[in-house]
Amino acid sequence: MTLGVIAGFFAGVPIAEAALIGGSLLLLSRAVSPHKLYAGIDGGFLLMFAGLFIVVAGAEKVLLTTNLTAAVNRLHSKMLGFWLA
């Protein structure tokens, strides 16, 4: 299954689709016990990622990412000599 997902990545299948299909096939084939899989999920870690997506979406709404990228580019161009030395 894993090799099929990797082959899908290199064949041009979108990453999300290949991962979803591969994960679904693993669960349907019963190669991995769903109870064992779900028991390994840490609730706090899952909550942290959900919060991270909310924060990133909020940053994109206020165009923080565009301004931040421009600031980093300016800083990088000023410090280029330092990084190359």
- Residue 30 sits in the same domain as residue 67: no
- Residue 49 sits in the same domain as residue 82: yes
Per-residue pLDDT band at 51 (split at 50, 70, 90) = very high
Q: In this predicted model, what pLDDT tens digit does every residue of 17-35 receive, in sequence order? A: 988 888 888 888 877 777 8
Write down the pTM of the prediction.
0.42
CB 4 within 8 A of CB 24: no
**Gap between the Cα atoms of 25 and 32, Å rounded:** 10
- Residue 49 sits in the same domain as residue 36: no
- Residue 5 sits in the same domain as residue 34: yes
- Residue 10 sits in the same domain as residue 47: no
Give the pLDDT score at 23: 84
